[in-house]
Amino acid sequence: MTKLIYKTLGIFLGLTIFLSSCNTGKKTAIKALKVEVLPEDIVELRADQIKLANIELGAVEMHVPGNILKVNGIVSVAPQNLATVCMPLGGFIKNTTLLPGNAVSKGQILAVIENLDFVDIQQNYLEAKNRLIFAEADFKRHTDLYKDDVYSEQNVQQVTVEYMNLKAMVKSLEQKLLLIGINPDQLREDNISSSVNLVSPIKGFLKAVNVNVGKYVSPIDVLFEIVNSDKLFLELTLFEKDADKVATGQKVKFYINNETEEHEAVISQTGKSVSNDKTFRVYATVSSSCKNLLPGMYVNAFIAESDSKVTALPSESIVSFDDRDYIFVFEKEKEEAGKAFTEYRMIEVKKGVSGSAYTEIKLPEGFDINTSRIVIKGAYNILSAKKNAGEMAC
């Protein structure tokens, strides 16, 4: 009987241990299976993965993407900012120290020119001016005497003609002196000179210098070309089909040579006629300061058809997946098992018009553009992490 009791107790204890062992195994299995399940629209990355993916955050911006017209053109200057300097009476170059590219100010001496004709003009002017003083006094005296019936009308007319002729001569010689750069008011008998200073009519830089010491120049020779580059404009060429897409006031972004620096201009005038090759001209005033911009340079320009601003992001921040467009938004930072993680939420958007670097987007209702931080670089790397969890995802 006692043996039966011990045997029964042994079976009961064995069964208890077995059941206990099974329960422990189940708890261990359940604990092992208890892992975080991320929502379908969440991707999490470690700090090293973020650095590897070259991720940068930004904000939704208000831009004018519009349809962009890509046009070509050249840099020009207005006629009043381009000066061709000649010497009306010619002469020999006595002195000059300037080279192409030198900056000059208005009134600065460009060269000193000698010509014996300068002496003759000054002499003739002073002689005519002295004779005019006598002729004017004689004219007044004869007029007064004529009123008193002392002189005949014929004598008064003769004196009047001589006086008016001298007055005209003095005036014409004054203009000749001004033309060659001599101030008549400062001319005296003791300061007659065979040389005059050729001065710059505008501020700018020398585009061309066509003189040297001792060279004889004629009135038709171009001695200097001066360009004022402070106020430049673009002369752009558009096809006639685009005539209705541009208007005064529209902004233009342009680039010179192979530079990446962006310059700005504003359309100031549009062409009123179409040339034989079915193109027309559009003129835009350069509004930004461009130190490397020079007249005659070739430019690539982009004109936005619309000035209305829309919500936009850099084109590279928008990714396509399963025929839909998405952006990634910073969600939160967290820590698991002593490691820092960052979560990004995948949000579907609707793409609008694309520009050169930005694309219009339509965001879901309730999206806060003021506080949301958008992934503007590395979005495709995050998308790869979502697709290939084994490589970049956690």
Per-residue pLDDT tens digits for 327-338: 999 999 998 888
Could you tell me which residue, 186 or 146, shows the higher pLDDT?
A: 186
Token couple for 92: 């020999």
Residue 176: predicted pLDDT: 92
Q: What is the pLDDT of residue 327?
A: 95
pLDDT at 392 over 60: no
| Tens-place pLDDT, residues 49-107 | 898 889 999 999 887 655 678 889 999 988 888 999 999 989 999 999 999 989 999 99
- Burial readout 307-336 (b: 16 or more C-beta within 10 A, e: otherwise): eeebbbbbeebbbeeeeebbbbbebeeeee
Q: What is the mean pLDDT of residues 177-193?
A: 91
pLDDT tens column, 365-374: 989 988 999 9
At 37 the pLDDT is: 73
Residue 222 DSSP label? -
pLDDT-based confidence at residue 305 (cuts at 50, 70, 90): low
> Residue 27's pLDDT is what?
46
178-212 exposure pattern, b = at least 16 Cβ within 10 A, e = fewer: eebebebeebeeeebebebbbebebbbebbebebe
> Minimal CA–CA distance to 223: which of 178, 193, 181?
181
Amino acid identity at 329: V
Which of 91-95, 130-134, 223-227 is predicted with the least confidence, judged by mean pLDDT?
130-134
Q: Where in the chain is the domain with CATH 2.40.420.20?
A: 42-65+310-387
Give the CATH fold of the 68-78+231-304 domain. Elongation Factor Tu (Ef-tu); domain 3 (2.40.30)
Instruction: Name the DSSP class of 43.
Output: E
Residue 19 has pLDDT above 50, yes or no: no
Q: Which residues contact 256 (CB under 8 A, 6 or more apart)?
A: 75, 263, 290, 292, 293, 297, 298, 299
- Residues 133-154: what's their mean pLDDT? 74
Q: Cα separation of 223 and 91, whole Å?
A: 12
Q: What is the pLDDT of residue 389?
A: 58
pTM for the model = 0.54
Classify domain 42-65+310-387 by CATH architecture: Beta Barrel (2.40)
- Checking phi first, is residue 178 left (phi over 0); if not, alpha (psi -120 to 50) or beta? alpha
Share of the chain above pLDDT 90, in %: 40
More confident residue, 246 or 150: 246
> What does the pLDDT read at residue 13?
40
Query: Does 216 score more than 50 pLDDT?
Result: yes
Higher pLDDT, 149 or 362: 362
Q: Mean pLDDT, to the nearest integer, of 43-52?
A: 89
Domain span(s) for CATH 1.10.287 in the chain: 116-193
What is the mean pLDDT of the segment spanning 132-161? 76
| Single-letter amino acid code for the residue at 50 | I
Whether residue 390 has pLDDT greater than 70: no
pLDDT in tens, 250-290: 888 888 877 777 888 999 888 888 888 888 899 999 887 77
Q: What letters, b where the CB count within 10 A reaches 16 and e where it falls short, cover 11-29?
A: eeeeeeeeeeeeeeeeeee
Q: What is the pLDDT of residue 220?
A: 93
The candidate with the shortest Cα–Cα distance to 234, out of 81, 73, 80, 69, is 73
The mean pLDDT of the chain is 83
- Could you say which of 2.40.50.140, 1.10.1740.10, 2.40.30.10, 2.40.50.100 is the CATH number of the domain covering 81-112+199-227? 2.40.50.100
- Architecture of the domain made up of 116-193: Orthogonal Bundle (1.10)
- State the pLDDT confidence band at 364, using cuts at 50, 70 and 90: very high
Contact (Cβ atoms closer than 8 angstroms) between residue 313 and residue 359: yes
Lowest mean pLDDT among 1-10, 182-191, 282-291: 1-10
Question: pLDDT at residue 394 above 50?
Answer: no
State the Cα angle at 342 between 340 and 348, rounded to 5°. 170
Q: What is the pLDDT of residue 41?
A: 87
* Residues 313-360 pLDDT 10s: 988 999 998 889 999 999 999 988 888 999 999 999 998 777 657 888
Q: What does the alpha-carbon distance between residue 350 and residue 310 come to, in Å, rounded to a whole number? A: 13
Residue 149: per-residue pLDDT: 64
Residues of the chain within CATH 2.40.50.100 domain(s) are: 81-112+199-227
CB 123 within 8 A of CB 192: yes
pLDDT for the residue numbered 133? 87
Question: What is the Cα–Cα distance from 359 to 381, expressed in whole angstroms?
Answer: 19
Q: Tell me which of 136 and 119 has the higher pLDDT.
A: 119
Identify the pLDDT of residue 393.
39
Radius of gyration of the chain (CA): 44
